[in-house]
Amino acid sequence: MNNSKKLIVSHAPHWHNGSSISAKNINIIFATFPALLIGLSYYGIPAVGVIALSIGCAMIAELLMNLAMKREISISDGSAALSGLLLGMLLPASAPWWLVVIGSFLVIVIGKQIFGGIGSNPLNPTLIGYAILMISWKGLLDYNEALLDYDLGFIMSYPLATLKHFGVSAITKYDMINLFMGKQSGGIGTTCGLGLLIGGFYLLLRGFIRWEISLSFLVGVYVSAFLFNISNPEGYASPLFHLLTGNIMLGAFFLATDDTTSPVNFIPMLIFGLGCGIMTVLIRNLGVYYDGVVFAILLMNITNPLLDKIYPKAIGKVVENA
């Protein structure tokens, strides 16, 4: 027997399709550009500063945690840069520098590294950081207050705040096409539904995200908003208004689809997306917060381990020896 030819036995997977974490993160970052560039063009240099600071601080936080916990340096995989970018997109252009720094460190340290790094976090890191900021410094993240000094040629009152405070009759001043094109106040990279939709379709076509979560998220928003609307048209906004405002598009394509915090099987993904959409509308219509996307996704992240217990029935059966 030729000893140079050995049978090598290894665990699955036995075949690699050539994909990598860094390639996926780079493509997701690229997919944010259509919406992000619109936001930067509206808000100018202050918005550029927020985005750059958020990305830079997130990468520094990850490097410091790698060194402190004696782990392999992981900033080259793009995960920290992506998390920082998504946080920056959620923030208003007027966010003070210290708020961006604190938020970035919360995203990396509390949201990800404290659980063991990429792939180990039970909740979406970006949303953990943003939720803490929202609860702690609500006024700084109130888009009506934060963007008061901006005059961009369109209505600068936050649509969801207008709905919450003044009712359905007050939102008739908003044109749905303008909302879709990003002509509304909000986070730097969250207002342009068209740009986020283009980025989302790019990720779907390239296979970086699955359609089940994104589509069921949007369906959940539409159906639940429709049921509220037909029950009381004077009290609750139309489904289209809900789809085109707030963080819906960013949530459906860039936040809810996070691999680590979302299910992997078909039925669980549909349930997860529907739950995100339904909870978003419930929080908007019945809760105290203007936009429910952040808390809806975090709540569904908690259910992820349970949903993943729903899996296809195994093919075949075990036959015991007679």
Single pTM value for the model? 0.89
Residue range 197-223: mean pLDDT, rounded: 95
Is the pLDDT confidence value at 2 over 60?
no
Q: Is 251 inside any structural domain? A: yes
Q: Is 7 inside any structural domain? A: no
Residue range 107-111: mean pLDDT, rounded: 93
Is the pLDDT confidence value at 304 over 70?
yes
Q: Is 314 inside any structural domain? A: no
Is the pLDDT confidence value at 101 over 80?
yes
Inter-residue contact 302 to 275 (CB < 8 Å): no
Eight-class DSSP state of 92: -
Question: What is the band of 271 on the pLDDT scale with cuts at 50, 70, 90?
Answer: very high
Tens digit of each residue's pLDDT (9 = 90 or more) over 180-198: 999 999 999 999 999 999 9
Tens digit of each residue's pLDDT (9 = 90 or more) over 136-187: 998 899 998 888 878 888 888 899 999 999 999 999 999 999 999 999 999 9
Q: What CATH number is associated with residue 59?
A: 1.10.3430
**What domain range is 279 assigned to?**
22-307
Residue range 69-97: mean pLDDT, rounded: 92
Residue 37 CA to residue 51 CA, distance in Å, equals 11
Residue range 249-275: mean pLDDT, rounded: 93
Q: Is 206 inside any structural domain? A: yes
Spell out where the chain has E strands: none
Res 147: pLDDT: 86
The candidate with the shortest Cα–Cα distance to 31, out of 252, 169, 201, 188, is 201
User: In the numeric block, which tokens belong to residue 30?
Assistant: 């690229």
Question: What is the band of 13 on the pLDDT scale with cuts at 50, 70, 90?
Answer: low
Least confident span in 112-116, 200-204, 305-309, 313-317: 313-317
- Looking at every residue in the chain, the average pLDDT score rounds to 89
Q: Is 312 inside any structural domain? A: no
Is the pLDDT confidence value at 16 over 60?
no
| Percentage above 70 pLDDT, the chain | 91
Residue 37 CA to residue 30 CA, distance in Å, equals 11
Provide the number of structural domains found in the chain. 1
